[in-house]
Amino acid sequence: MYLLNLENNSYFYPVVFLRIILFPFSLLYGLAVWLRNKLFDWNILPSKSFDIPVISVGNLSTGGTGKSPHVEYLVNLLKKDFIVATLSRGYKRKSKGFILADEKSDAKQMGDEPFQFKTKFPEVEVAVDEKRKRGIEKLLKLKPETDVVILDDAFQHRYVKPGISILLTDFHQLYCSDYVLPTGNLREFRSGSKRADIIIVTKTSKVLSPITRRRIDEQLKPAPNQKLFFSYIRHQNPVPLPGIKKAADPDKDARFNTILLVAGIANTYPLEMYLKNMCDELEVMKFPDHHSYVQKDIIRIIERFENIITRNKILVTTEKDSVRLRDPELMKTLKNFPVYYIPIEIVIHREDRREFNEIILNNVRKNKRDD
């Protein structure tokens, strides 16, 4: 909720009024979540540990910190030496219960992010279940050879006790400067961050000064047992949406008159900055996070695109949105238009990379079940 940034003076008075109105509700919500966490801390509600390494990736905020690409970073790091599985809730999927992805799975059944994992890593087992404890149990029953399970968006799912808990926070909106819902974006009080073993500040610039690192360390105040690392996004070259007839791989230095960005993600700012270097003019159509596109949306997108008067123009979307756009019915309408998506990958800053990788690898080696 960037509206809550008091440094923007034009919003100062509306924001103060909004906070005054909503703060009692935030307090009640935060107290309810705090009590739930205490019930787990006091062992009144049970947290189950498993006899294989379980790595949780999550955040305190409602989204936009880059959980999925960080899960992909962990998969890339581990899959060469270990049998890796991911388990997600499967947000906004049309199915319920436990599902293990196979060659017939799609985004509607699995959710966009798990389906993206399976598309990018076919050798990795990808499962969804809204109940993570049950999900791990069923996954290990079906795939007992699994060495490590990576939980996506599981920081608040405390019925499972992970071996390593990774907490992400956006460089542009640190959780220490945010507030509990509905005043802010936090799912729980900031004190919940103490449960993390590792804190990663995401979406930093590629060059990060020691002064900036120290400033953030002072703001977040990690506990002595917590490790603080920093990561940034590396955008890759545009890739044609599969099934598009007119699209072809553009040159890596290609420049366009106009790019129409279509995105249903929590934070488009990093991608917008990247695309502005590829075109003279960037137009943006934003949809809600995890938006399920329907034919009416596609017609609106095409009308907007056709109203752009320049010739050298393309449609660009995010990798996550591209998964949802591959629906056969939507593709019938899109197939004759130049639609691309931008793959992204996470880079841990050079100063942090070796230590972070060693922590993860050593934990999995140490706790992996014997063959």
Q: How many residues does the chain have?
A: 371
pLDDT at 10: 47
Cβ neighbours, 10 Å, residue 102: 10
Question: What CATH number labels 237-342?
Answer: 3.40.50
Please tell me the distance from the alpha carbon of residue 254 to that of residue 120, in angstroms, as a whole number. 25
For residue 89, what are the CA distances in angstroms to 66, 77, 96, 123, 232? 16, 22, 10, 20, 25
pLDDT at 322: 93
Sole residue written with tokens 């998506």: 341
**Are domains 54-82+147-233+347-367 and 237-342 of this chain identical in fold?**
yes
Sheet of strand 164-170, all strands in order from the earlier edge strand to the far edge: 99-100, 125-128, 84-88, 148-152, 54-59, 164-170, 198-202, 227-235, 344-348
276 vs 289, higher pLDDT: 276
Sole residue written with tokens 């329907």: 294
Burial 219-230 (b: 16+ CB within 10 A, else e): ebebeeebbbbb
pLDDT at 38: 96
pLDDT grade, residue 369 (50/70/90)? Answer: confident
Q: Which amino acid is at 85?
A: A
- As assigned by CATH, the class of the 54-82+147-233+347-367 domain is alpha beta
What residue spans define the domains of the chain?
A: 54-82+147-233+347-367, 237-342
137 burial via Cβ count (<10 Å: 0-12, 13-18, 19+): middle
Q: pTM of the full predicted structure?
A: 0.90
**pLDDT digits 0-9 by tens, 172-187:** 999 999 999 988 899 9
**pLDDT digits 0-9 by tens, 56-101:** 999 999 888 999 999 999 999 999 999 999 999 998 899 999 999 9
